[in-house]
Every structure is written in C-alpha cells, then in structure tokens.
Chains A and B, each alone.
Chain A
Amino acid sequence: MHTSLNKKALLVALVVTLACVVISFYGSRKLQNFDPALIAYLFGTLFALFGGIYRYCVWLQRPPTWMYFRRTWQFVFSGSFFVHLYYLAADSVKNLLFQRFIYPRGKKRWIAHFLLATGCMAAFAITIPLTLGWINFTLDPATALDPGTTRLYYANFFGFQVMSFKLGSVMAFLIFHALTWCSWLVIAGAVFFMVRRMTNAGLIATQTFEGDLLPLILLIIISVTGLGLNYSYAFMKGMAYDFMAVTHAISVILFLVWIPFGKFFHIIQRPAQIGAHIYKKEGMKRGMAVCPHTGQAFATQLHVDDLKTVTQQLGFDFTLENGSSHLDFSPEGKRSLLAKAHLQARQEGGNLFG
C-alpha cells in the first residue's frame, strides 16, 4: 500500500500544499512580511504539510480507517448536530488538549506527556504562522522615534493588526519568550520519557531506536539549541551561535520532514480517537450485540456488522455454514468455542492426554 504512489492522496496533498502557498503569499502581503531567514524552515514546513496530507489520505483509504472516518462524520451530521458538536469539542479538549486518557496509565507519564505535547503544539502555533509569514510584529513608528516613550509593538495576522503591546510589558516578555517556555516544557517532558525508556525493562525490550528514542533525541536537540540561540545572546555573548543556529535548523527540518512517516504522525492521527468515541456512543444508542455463547451483550451491533464488512474488504471471511459469523461471538465466547471444539477433537481422538 505504501510502496506504490497513491494518486488520490498525491492529488489532495498537492492541492492543499498549493493552497497553503497561495494563502501564505497573500497572507504575507506578497512576501512583504516574509522573513527570508526562515526560508529553509518554509520549505521544511511545506514538505511536512505535503507529506502529512499525503500520508493521511493514504491512511484514510484503508478500509477500517475509512469506516471510522465515514461513520464519524455521518454521525456528527445526523440528528442533533449541535449536541454532537458540543461532544466533539468537549472530548477534544479533554483528550487532545489535555490527553486525559494517559493519566490512568501513570500520573507522571501524563504530566510529562502534557508538558511535551503542550510545548510542541504551542511551538507549532507560533513558528508555523511565523515561517509562512502569516504573522509578524511591527514597531509603532511614532514610539520608535521618540526616545522618551516606551516602544509600542503591533502584532499582525495576515497583515491585519490584531493587538499591540509595550516593550518591557509582561505581555511583551511572554510573547517574545514564548518559544523559550515551549522549549522548557518539551525538555522536561522529553527527558522524563528518555529516562523512562532507558530504565523500564518492558520498554527496553520492545522499543526501537528510530521509532521511540530518536524522536525524543530530536525534540531535545531542537529545544536545547533553540534555548541556546536565545541564551547565547542574553548570557553568553553570542558564543557558539552559528553552530547552534545550524544544528537547530537541521534538527527542525529533519523533524518536519519526518512528521508524516515516524512517531510524530500520531499527533495527526490522534483525533481519530474522538471518532472512535462517537462511534461507540452512537452504536450503543442503536443497540448491543449479544453473544450466542455467553448470552451477554459485548459490543455494539453496529461494530459487529461493520467489522464483518471491513474484514471482507480486507480479504477475510468468517461466515459460518449456517450463515451467521464467527464475529457474532464475544471474545469469551470465541475462546470457549475453541476449547469445546478442542475437547471434542480430543475425545474423538480417544485420549485427552499424551
């Protein structure tokens, strides 16, 4: 599936990437607000966008993924739309913004992941629009020339002024150092996970370097060099600035280019969890499937029926001779059926042992 070029995905990715270029061209007022120092980052970002969309589309075309995708939107747009929308929003805040589902897996793990995720997402929110020239900051010319007044800055979005703040104000401090805060959050989270991955025997056994450790290393390098760039001027008299600038650029671009393929794709994938929640919620309204063996409800009938379709699309056929399906049985029922069949075979074989 990933080996040959997927034309549908290619087309969508191209269109979206081009659209982004067009928006950015006009958003930066025909490149007037564009910062040429960020050119390498720009291409990295565009590639990440292209690759991410391509991969996403390929992914969506897999039968189980498409089933969930289709069902999710079908449910959202059926019945009381606003109720669904509210659920969607609330669940997104809970599970995407706060990653609440990690909390039961471990309190420290959740804190670390929350720091890491918040740092990353905030950094994306700042750097991507900056890189694409969607936002820029301008100095109020009046205050710039008058040494007696505090300088006033404007923040512009797509060239439209959206806010202003004075140099030296709390707001200015927060905005100009936003990436510093992000870096610290990322470092704290990533270091926790690095330590965990190096000491937890279970993880050591199952992790891979490129899949699990490299992403953390990359994040740490990005954050540390990012901080270095900042502190190099503030505290170190510009020492090693060039080295850090180059390392930072390379690691960021690597990170961007890698988003569609590696561990970071889970950031893009995660919203599907919200879909799975809606699917289950709506499925329950439509009725539960009862296992013929245990007599207990075990899943939504919708899920069982959809899975019959999906497995057939994937080339499996669990249809039984009587027209029902092996998939009609609950996990416990399936295990019991196997044991009963095994007992029967053993009995027919004449000996349960040996």
Chain B
Amino acid sequence: MEVTAYKTDMEFFVDMQRCIGCKACEMACAECETNGHQSMIHVNYVERAVSIQTTVQVCMHCDDPVCARVCPADAISKDDFGVVHSANTARCIGCSNCVMACPFGVPIKEEKYDMMMKCNMCYDRTSAGKKPMCATVCPSQALFYGTREEISRMRPNSTPVNTFIFGQQTVTTKVNIMMPKGSTHLKVH
C-alpha cells in the first residue's frame, strides 16, 4: 500500500443499461489477487420473469462510506485515494452490518469465512497503474475505467453522475454512473 502507482486521473464509470449479463466481470473479478478467487462484483437480473434486464454493481466507494461507519469492528477503511477497502480479515466479526446498510447492496458476507468481503477496485491492479479486471474485460463497457476526458469523448451525450438520493439521504461516491447529458443526480426511489 505504501509504494503505489495509482493513477488519480483514472475513474470508474458504470452504465448498467449497457450490461448484457454475460458475467465476464464476475469471472474476471475472481482473478483479482486481492480476493482469492472469490468474485466481489454483482450481476443480477432485475426482474427476470418480465425482462432480460441485468444490472451490474461494483463498489461505489462512497465519500462517507456507510459500510465503514456501521462496522462495529472498525474493519473497513478508506484510503487517501478514496478507495474503500474490503474488511480487515483480523478485525471483521462477520456481523453483516455493512451488507445490510450499504445503499448499493455491495458488500458480501462470505458465510463460510464468517467474514465480509467487498470490491476494492482491484487494488492490486489499480495501485500498479492498471485497470480493474472487471472494467478491463467488460465486453459491453458497462464498466469503464479511464479518464474523464476519454469518457466524454466516447459518450458525448452522457454525463457522469456521482450523487445518489435514497429518500432523505444523499450519497456521493468516487465511482460514477453515466446518465443523460446534464443530469446531476440519480433519485433511486
């Protein structure tokens, strides 16, 4: 963590309408060295009986991460780059507070390990200046990792948004979601 080539101009951009549900990201996530062949990304059908729509969810890396705040064991930390790390294995007591409190439904309770695990934006790769596995392989580029300049060139009619409204609560995140041009936030309910 101390020696790092993390590129601060690179950001994560998600657009779940591009998702084709292929789960390449899920397979690739498990190839990330930090999570020991466990996949941390979520791909699920939204409502399979009526639609083929799938959604893909990486950790949004909140500016004020609810998961870390509700952790009774101080196991989750956010680093200087804004990456919210997976639970510290020594501390995590497997209580699932983070799993239930995360507004994006991201952390996973690994029952067999009695421990929470989550996406850390492929820290082994991003800290070495590489792109996360999921965004590298994503064949539809529902997951894109690159600079703001690149994304605005490629998708001129969309705006990256990182403000989400869940009822009374506004959450801001490091990861962006691509929205129609001019959008400022996504109201979830």
Contacts and interface: CB of A to CB of B under 8 A. Distances in A.
A and B touch in the complex (CB under 8 A): yes
Interface of A: 59, 62, 64-65, 67-68, 95, 101, 104-105, 200-209, 263, 266, 269-270, 272-273, 275-276, 279-280, 299, 303-304, 307, 310-311, 314, 316-321, 325-327, 329-343, 345-346, 348-354
26 contacts: A62-B74, A101-B94, A105-B36, A105-B89, A200-B33, A201-B124, A202-B32, A206-B34, A272-B73, A303-B96, A310-B70, A311-B66, A311-B101, A316-B69, A316-B169, A317-B169, A332-B105, A335-B44, A336-B46, A336-B47, A337-B188, A338-B55, A339-B46, A340-B46, A346-B179, A354-B156
B124 A206 contact: yes
Q: Is the interface of B mostly helix, strand, loop or mixed?
A: loop
B5 to A, nearest CB: 11
Given A209-B2, A335-B55, A354-B158, A272 B105 contact: no
Ordered nearest first, which 7 A-B pairs have the shortest CB separation?
Answer: A349-B180, A331-B105, A354-B157, A339-B55, A202-B33, A205-B124, A334-B105
B27 interface: no
Contacts of A331: 42, 99-100, 102, 105-107
Nearest to B156: A354
B38 to A, nearest CB: 10
Contacts of B96: 276, 280, 299, 303
A280 B112 CA distance: 15
Contact of B97 (A207, A269, A310, A352): A310
Interface string B129-164: 000000000000000000000000001111000001
B70 A348 contact: no
Given A105-B113, A206-B85, A299-B96, A342 B72 contact: no
A321 B168 CA distance: 8
Q: Is the interface of A mostly helix, strand, loop or mixed?
A: helix
B22 interface: no
Give the contact-size bracket for chain B. 35 or more
A192 to B, nearest CB: 15
Interface in B81-122: 85-86, 89-91, 93-97, 99-107, 112-115, 120
A327 B100 contact: yes
B52 interface: no
B57 A335 contact: yes
B183 to A, nearest CB: 7
A69 to B, nearest CB: 8
B34 A205 contact: yes
A38 B186 CA distance: 63
A350 B72 CA distance: 44
Nearest to A339: B55
Interface string B17-59: 1100000000000001111100000101011000001110100
B114 A101 contact: yes
Given A303-B97, A326-B167, A335-B57, 5 more contacts: A204-B124, A208-B2, A320-B167, A330-B105, A351-B180
Contacts of B114: 95, 101, 273
A288 to B, nearest CB: 12
A209 to B, nearest CB: 7
A206 B106 contact: no
Given A339-B55, A354-B156, A346 B180 contact: yes
A345 B179 contact: yes
B71 interface: yes
B175 interface: no
Given A269-B73, A311-B70, A342 B186 contact: yes
